[in-house]
Amino acid sequence: MLSIRGLTHVYANQTRALDGIDLEIGSGMFGLLGPNGAGKSTLMRSIATLQTPTAGSIRFDDIDVIAEPERLRRTLGYLPQDFGVYPRVSAYDLLDHMAVLKGVAGRAERKETVEALLQQVNLWDVRKKAVAGYSGGMRQRFGIAQALIGRPSLIIVDEPTAGLDPEERNRFLNLLAEIGENVVVILSTHIVEDVADLCPRMAVLAGGRILREGAPTRLMADLAGRIWRKTIDRHELEAERDRHQVISTRLLAGRTVIHVLADDRPGASFEPVEGGLEDVYFSTLSASRRAA
């Protein structure tokens, strides 16, 4: 169990990236949704012991993460948003080197570990190729392989599918789902579909605060009968925003489709729609902006 209490971080320029975060995260996949600049990466780096928060506490089982960072690192797998690689080093050799750094000292044990991980992430056939020459999806799969060295019980993946094509995204998400059955996996992203596909629990983070938390199915049920759709011309959008709480817009065949949050039908031209996780996300951000 990962327990976070009152976590706050203020950077030197007085930017408050985290503002009193409270979270309890158990085994399985946990989705952390938020826009760019919400504080997701700061939270992930704090959990991963890469920076010390200004205030608050983080505990993982019996480990005080802030006071005992080395203990946490021994059981942590981390795939950051920007995963750098060495040029001209093969996947096999780089993974072997990382295994040494993770404390897998015996040559036979390392060989077994590296070969099993390359098979698991479907990179065995390209194990002799330099990681710098991998596609984006292959690099992300390699990133998961290095995060799994040492059989960690806490895994953090930060924006793992950004920039991946649909085929690589599906392959990567299937891999995460397989990994997340018996350990704590935190998936930090701004891509709603990733959380919808994988996570039985989630939270929405914006402005350094947790705005909403729970099971996606329950959060979507809370919007039942409250999401309304209408297709308009683009020049009508501002007027609709003045009259209603427009939570999202998208283009369809050159026209604009709006989703509005309202307890009752906002007008005869609106039709009800079943609220999805995207509506949960956008309605949460909309309410936060209106309250600011």
- pLDDT tens-place string over residues 30-57: 999 999 889 999 999 999 999 999 999 9
Provide the domain limits for residue 201: 2-220
Tell me how many helices (H) and strands (E) the chain has: 10, 14
**Starting at the edge strand that comes first in sequence, how are the strands of the sheet with 246-252 ordered?**
246-252, 255-261, 227-232, 271-272
What pLDDT score does 207 carry? 93
H or E segment and range at residue 285: helix 277-291
Model confidence at 182, pLDDT cuts 50, 70, 90, reads: confident
Note whether 32 and 155 are same-domain residues: yes
Residues 142 and 256 in one domain: no
Say whether both 57 and 96 belong to one domain: yes
Q: Are residues 111 and 91 part of one domain?
A: yes
Same domain, 204 and 231: no
Whether residue 275 sits in one domain with residue 151: no
**Are 53 and 97 within one domain?**
yes
Domain match, 212 and 233 both:
no
Check whether residue 161 and residue 60 sit in a common domain.
yes
| Residue where one domain finishes, among candidates 220, 244, 259 | 220
SS3 89: coil
pLDDT 10s digits, 236-290: 999 999 999 999 999 988 899 999 999 999 999 999 999 899 999 999 999 888 8
pLDDT of residue 130: 92
Q: If you average pLDDT over residues 180-207, what whole number do you get?
A: 91
Q: Check if the beta carbon of residue 60 is closer than 8 Å to that of residue 154.
A: yes
* Single residue among 203, 220, 237 that ends a domain in this structure: 220
Last residue of a domain, one of 188, 220, 252: 220
pLDDT for position 292: 67
- Cβ–Cβ < 8 Å for 107, 95: no
Residues 173 and 264 in one domain: no
Residues 6 and 72 in one domain: yes
Overall average pLDDT of the 148-168 stretch:
88
Express each pLDDT in 82-99 by its tens digit.
Answer: 776 666 899 999 999 999
Question: What radius of gyration do the chain's Cα atoms show?
Answer: 21
Number of domains in the chain: 2
Read off the CATH number of the domain in which 139 is found: 3.40.50.300
Q: Tell me, yes or no, whether 192 and 252 share the same domain.
A: no
Contact 240, 246 (CB under 8 A): yes
pLDDT of residue 4: 98
